[in-house]
Structure 1
Amino acid sequence: MDQPPTDSERALPPGWALVRVDQAGEVRLGRQRSPEQDSGAHMTKYVRAANITPAGMNLTDLLEMNFTPAEREVFGLKVGDVLLTEASGSASQVGRSAIWRGEFDLCCFQNTVIRFRPHLTTSEYALVVFRHYAAAGVFAGAARGVGIQHLGGSRLAELPYPLPPLAEQTRITEIADIRLAEIREAEARLRSALHHLNEQVREIMATAVAGELAPRSPQTPEPDRARGSSRSGQINLFEETLNLDVPGLGATVPEGWLRRRVDHVGEVRLGRQRAPKHERGRNMRPYLRVANVYEDRIDTSDILRMNFEPEEVAIYELQDGDVLLNEGQSPELVGRPAIYRGEVPGACFQNTLIRFRAGDGIEPEYALLVFRHYMHSGVFREIARWSTNIAHLGLERFRALPFPIPPRDEQQRIVAEARRRLDAIAGQTRAVQASLARLPEFELELLAAAVAGELTPQDPHDEPSSELLQRLGPPRKTQATLSSLRGDTMPKRRPRPTRQAEPTPDLAAVLKENGGSLPLPELFAQAGYNRDLPEHVELFYLALRNALGGTIRLTGDAAENAELEVADAA
């Protein structure tokens, strides 16, 4: 007696079938990378997870390792193969997919990639299904792991696969491609609009500090109209200073303006260094750091505290109108400034920030415009010194920068006009960003409709998927026993020892047995774990988390193929 249809099958359109992914096509995990394959007689390009992007395949940095002729038979790519990322630190990025179009005659794939070779389905329709699963969180729900999420070949193989008739698959993908192209075009237009709005912001600030934004004052100011306050501790504020020329800065200022060093128009100070001894004490106070200072905005969602003695409070406590700048940041954002407006009462600041306290005759809001201009025009980037990927503005370099000074009343007009224009642009920017944020929802709705049979009507003349399944049968399995394949003429290597017993949580011992260091995937295997067993993946990453910072340490990139070594190996 036939079994009644399941809920999933009842929801399928006429002529469709619900199969497993490994019925719709062959599923295979790539070949593991190991040091012994870094050289050999059959060096071959291979695809890894980093080559699979949301926009398709990025083959600008394909790596090579040795694949014997037999291994090429198993792990070689063919036109139409669908490649998926097997793992990611972000669950939302697991299962990112793209189609191999035969860009290279000979190419294989690594075990950070899963290959789906279509059998009952077209490559393009399979890509639609997998993109839907990624966007809808199906892959994220199936993935396992602590820290790095693994989809796993066996878990992908077991997922349900909605299978339309072949002819309908083609109709679905044709319509989906058109709609997706429309979404991409909308995204491109919105990003172009965002770029133009950002350009307008930069132009407003450039014209503000060049005296071209607001009506000019009719007379030249007297020197004391821009004199620093006594609290700045500066003297001789209007002596000419030398060596103020910086690439990107004009050598002159408008008539009636002054041009002085930053530290001659206000007090400049670096914040207090964070140290373990300050983590507790009698005078715990909130403090601001780089993570709190965005452009023209103080973020108070994550405020930390440390101890400041009373004499330190007198130095480091913030006042309304203080301008805070990121001392260390990415090159594009170094010097990112915002005004403190009392958002966190009694707050001090850390040495990842520089404080500019405007002197008499300088409007803090005008100073903010100058510093925003310096960030956007590249002045801060030009004077910064780089350490790895962090650019440091430097207190002394910042102090020596030139500062254009209009008369006080002109500063106020500049600030008012700049604020009016910037507020208008901010409203437009929010609208564009809101539209951009809705595009992923549109794409998810489109993909969901595609795999539910809602993009195109069913044709009763199409061969039903059940008949297709009966006619073609299961997909052909690629021979997995490499030594049984003809053409493998490579001399036999002595295999690396692999643990076959229960996995061990003593990862340091495994590293010591293998020379002190291993790539993360190889450590996983050498410690006896099976990536297709969810409990093994979870146990491995639990052992890794417990050992990191103690008996073992990370020496490479924390992403794909991270290298781990015994902590006392150096």
Structure 2
Amino acid sequence: MTRTLVDEHYPLDPHTIPSSWVLTTVGDALPDIRSGYSASEHNMEKRGILHLRPGNLDRNGRLDVSQAKYVPDSLDALRITTGDVAFNNTNSPELVGKTAPVTIEATWGFSNHITRIRPGPGLSNVFVAHQLHYLWMTGYFRHRCTHYVNQASISATTLADTVPFIVPPTEDQLRINSELEVHFARLDQTVASLERAKANEKDYRNALLAAAYRGTLLPAPSEPVTGDTAESNSGEEYLEELLRLRRARWEEAQLAVFAAKGEKPKNDAWKQRYPEPFAPSEELSTPLPAGWTWATLDQLSDATQPITYGVVQLGETMDGGVPTLRSSDVRRLRIDLGSVKRISPRIAESYQRTILQEDDVLVTIRGTMGGVASVPRKCAGFNISREVARIVPLDRAASALMAMLIAAPTSQVWLKNHAHGIAYTGVNIEDLRKLPLPIPPPAEQHRIVADLSRLFEKADLSARSIAVGLAEAPALRMELLRKAFTGALFPPSSTAVSADELVKSLRQHATAQKSKAAAERKDSTKMVRRQKQGAPTELPRRSLLLVLSEAKSPLKPDALFREAGFNEEVVDEFFTELRELEKQKKIVQDRDAHGEPRLKVSP
């Protein structure tokens, strides 16, 4: 092969390939390349034959048939077996090109979104799969595939004729496989350890929050607190002060309303309108330390700014608009500012009640549950969506503690048990007001927040190290593969049969198998459903627009492909015609209840 096929997207430098190896095309080394067949009816009860699909190829280049689908055995004669290679030819652009070897005992059918590659004598299917999957990992196939709507594909012809392929002698292939197996096993063990550490880190945070909630995070004080804090020495006394403050603020606000109207209250009857907070009414099983008490969120929040949710309809994103936090932005004890939506100031002004101030507390009550955070200064002036509740603490100094206690496992279980709905669950504001929280004495509150913050900071450092390790794993895997295909894993063998001789042998084998492959191709086009209906096995080519206009309902891309008379040899032509119709806005794409695409003529 001339090296002109090696473009700027090809991740390997041809000049680094050992001189005893051969650089050719996939089709030259592997001429037996076939795409599979579609099946509209399938099951997961293992009735019929396993039908290999793109979802059965993972991102590490391995097969996973634990969730495989099955189709009638008689649907098509084409099979993928032990020793073959499965290549994902159609998927979203970032997934086209996933490749895996078939190394287990198998005689399966395979989807038209899978291309079967059958190596000839002297070529290892594991080596072939490693090389093609490496190209996928580097993003090479994103530049080689044909794009349409939200999918992309690589036809068997494009794969065979335009994708470079490196052929080492068989001995070197097998040694590469062996070396990679050892390195990958070590890498997999490391990744598994990091995943366990990540899970343990989450458990550790939960344990810290649970200890804070139960009052066991800190050792009991050796002597009673005196001095300036003695006036609110216990949690009960602290709560009583807050309840007095709650009423006083409300009355002050009501008097301000009278004054704004130029009126004075004639008597104290107006005080009867004070919204008494919910008190803990449930039998709480968690024992509390001496000096602690129970309170509800309602008792701890400002009656003049009651607990409420935010903007119901956010509208379109507006550059320079008001940042508005959604449930996806409010995480456990932090706010993620990475993708905050900005909304029209006109819409935000209608929700003055949820314009945030520093030290407010936010709780997700719809959508992504479990989020709770104290509002930092940089988020003052933001608004929130209806998925998020705003709590204004009477004691803003206790904002961080309130968020920590709501984030504790006991509180999260309580909220989950009081959620309503099936597909879209949520907690009502009235129920949220009733959430019980343990209240420590003020002096302990500060110690708990300080200790939790310190321990969480250490956990954050550990989490970042784990995240870095997990993020580096794919890069390490790619680097091992790069070394494998440039001869850097070990010195190439000097005694092996030359790669030139191997390629010649593969070409001779391909010629000998030509008639057999032609017969198999003819068999693979037979479809039992069409035979039963007396229809021909191959339909004449028809306009996609005509087929869609005649269809009684929107068609899946697979069905349109089949009904219009296309086959795997001309899949590029199918996507080209489809893309052109989409550009001309003659067809539109919908999705069914399962998220599957459906095509129809534009209205």
Range into which the TM-score falls when normalised by the shorter chain? 0.7 to 0.9
Tell me, yes or no, if the aligned pair for 2:356 and 2:381 is still in contact at 8 Å. yes
Tell me, in whole angstroms, the C-alpha distance in 1 between the residues paired with 2:198 and 2:317. 42
Structure 1 residue 109 displacement after superposition: 0.3
Conservation of the 8 A alpha-carbon contact between 1:244 and 1:401: no
**Which residue of 499, 512, 517 corresponds with 2:554?**
517
For residue 481 of structure 1, report the CA deviation from its aligned partner.
5.4
Report % sequence identity. Answer: 21
Distance in 1, Cα, partners of 2:381 & 2:323: 7
Contact 1:216 1:410 in 2 (8 A): no
Q: Which residue of 2 aligns with 1:392?
A: 426
Partners of 2:27 and 2:418 lie apart in 1 by 57
Q: Give, in angstroms, the shift of residue 448 of structure 1.
A: 0.5
Is the partner of 2:87 in helix, strand or coil?
Answer: strand
Match of 1:271 in 2: 310
After TM superposition, the structure 1 stretch with the greater mean CA deviation from structure 2, 218-227 or 308-317, is 308-317
Letter in structure 1 aligned against 2:374: I
Equivalent pairs counted in the alignment come to 539
| Counterpart for residue 326 of structure 1 | 364
Aligned-pair CA distance for 1:107: 1.6
1:13-40 Cα deviation digits (max 9, x unpaired) = 13211121122222111112246x89xx
Match of 1:63 in 2: 69
Q: Is the contact between residue 209 and residue 409 of structure 2 (CA under 8 Å) also seen in structure 1?
A: no
Give the aligned partner of residue 295 of structure 1: 332
Following superposition of structure 1 onto structure 2, how do residues 62-211 of structure 1 map, counting pairs within 5 Å?
62-68=68-74, 71-72=76-77, 75-91=78-94, 93-104=95-106, 106-119=107-120, 120-146=122-148, 147-158=150-161, 159-211=163-215
Deviation string, structure 1 residues 459-494 (Cα, Å, up to 9, x no partner): 2210001112223425335535569659x8965641
The one of 35, 38, 42 aligned to 1:32: 38
- 1:246-294 deviation per Cα after TM superposition (whole angstroms, max 9, x unaligned): xxxx443322212122222214211121165x989xx964422224323
Give the structure with the higher percent helix: 2
SS of the counterpart of 2:307? strand
Residues in 1 aligned to 2:250 and 2:207: alpha-carbon distance in whole angstroms: 31
For 1:359, the equivalent position in structure 2 comes to 394
Match of 1:28, as an amino acid? R
Distance 1:137 1:562 in 2: 25
Q: In the alignment, does 2:462 pair up with 1:417?
A: no
Residues 314-355 of structure 1: per-residue CA shift (max 9 Å, x gap): 41211111111222234xxx1311222232442222212111
The answer on whether the counterparts of 1:122 and 1:170 sit within 8 Å (CA) in structure 2 is: yes
Q: Distance in 2 between matches of 1:310 and 1:289?
A: 14
Q: What runs of 5+ residues in structure 2 fail to find an aligned partner?
A: 7-12, 225-232, 252-273
Query: Shift of residue 524 of structure 1?
Result: 4.0
| Per-residue CA distance 1:148-182 (angstroms, 9 max, x = gap) | 12233222212111000001111111011111111
Distance 2:351 2:551 in 1: 54
SS, match of residue 34 in structure 2: strand
Q: Which amino acid aligns with 2:89?
A: E
Unmatched 5+ residue regions in structure 1?
none
| Contact persistence 2:89–2:155 (CA under 8 A) | yes
1:510 counterpart letter in structure 2: V
- Name the aligned partner's letter for residue 80 of structure 2: L
Deviation string for 1:214-273 (max 9, x for gaps)?
344635341424436346897555x7532365xxxx443322212122222214211121
Q: 1:49 aligns with which of 54, 57, 75?
A: 54
Distance 1:263 1:434, change over 3 A: same
C-alpha change, 1:213 and 1:524, in structure 2 (3 Å) is same
SS state at 1:202 partner: helix
Report the Cα offset of residue 523 of structure 1.
Answer: 2.2
Q: Which moved more, 1:349-358 or 1:164-173?
A: 349-358
Deviation at 1:420, TM superposition (A): 0.7
Tell me the residue number matched to 1:537. 575
Q: 1:428 is matched with which residue?
A: 462
Among 222, 229, 242, the residue aligned to 2:246: 229
* 1:220 is the counterpart of 2:234: yes
Q: Against the structure 1 CA distance between its residues 4 and 18, is the aligned structure 2 distance closer, same or farther, given a 3 Å change threshold? A: closer
Distance 1:432 1:127, change over 3 A: same
Q: TM-score, normalised by structure 2?
A: 0.79
- Give the drift of 1:80: 1.1
Report the CA distance between 1:100 and its aligned residue. Answer: 1.8
Counterpart of 2:259 in structure 1 is: none
Higher mean C-alpha displacement, 362-371 vs 469-478: 469-478
CA distance in 2, matches of 1:6, 1:306: 51
Cα separation, 2, equivalents of 1:542 and 1:325 = 48
- After TM superposition, list the pairs within 5 Å mapping 1:469-508 onto structure 2: 469-474=503-508, 475=510, 476-477=513-514, 479-480=517-518, 491=531, 493-495=534-536, 498=539, 500-501=541-542, 503-504=543-544, 506=545
Larger Rg: 2
Counterpart AA for 2:87: L
Q: Which range moved further: 528-537 or 150-159?
A: 528-537
One-letter code of the match for 1:327?
Answer: I
**Distance in 2 separating the partners of 1:483 and 1:82:** 18
Question: Which TM-score applies when normalising by structure 1?
Answer: 0.83
Question: Structure 1: which amino acid aligns with 2:211?
Answer: T
* Matched residue type, 2:85: V
SS where residue 146 of structure 2 aligns?
Answer: coil
Shifted more, 196-205 versus 253-262: the winner is 253-262
1:306 matched residue in structure 2: 344
Instruction: Report the residue type matching 2:196 in the other structure.
Output: S
Query: 1:562: Cα distance to partner?
Result: 3.5
Post-superposition offset of 1:455: 1.2
- Could you say if the C-alpha distance between residues 156 and 200 of structure 1 is closer, same or farther in structure 2, counting changes exceeding 3 Å? same
How big is the shift at 1:394? Answer: 3.1
Cα distance in 2 between the residues matched to 1:4 and 1:356: 66
Q: Which amino acid aligns with 1:415?
A: V
1:446 aligns with 2:480: yes
Cα pair 1:497 1:526 within 8 Å, conserved: no
* 8 Å CA contact 2:324, 2:342 repeated in 1: yes
The AA in structure 1 aligned to 2:195 is: R
Cα distance change on mapping 1:15 and 1:359 into 2, 3 Å: same
Deviation per CA, 1:528-570: give whole Å up to 9, x if none. Answer: 777756575255246458769x965211444xx64456799xx
Aligned-pair distance for 1:365? 0.2
- Give, in whole Å, the separation in 2 of the partners of 1:284 and 1:117: 57
Q: Is contact 1:328-1:392 (8 Å) kept? A: yes
Query: How far apart, CA to CA, are the structure 2 residues paired with 1:455 and 1:279?
Result: 51
In structure 2, do the counterparts of structure 1 residues 192 and 377 end up closer, same or farther at CA, with 3 Å as the change threshold? farther
**Compared CA separation, residues 539 and 343, structure 1 to 2 (3 A):** farther
User: Displacement, 1:125?
Assistant: 0.8
Q: Give the residue type in structure 1 aligned to 2:182.
A: I
Q: Deviations over 1:90-136 (max 9, x none)?
A: 51x222222223444x4210111111111141011112202211112
Q: 1:82 to 1:416 in 2, by over 3 A?
A: same
Cα 1:379–1:150 shift into 2, 3 Å: farther
Q: Is it true that 1:437 corresponds to 2:471 in the alignment?
A: yes
**2:520 matches 1:463:** no
Q: Aligned Cα RMSD in Å? A: 3.6
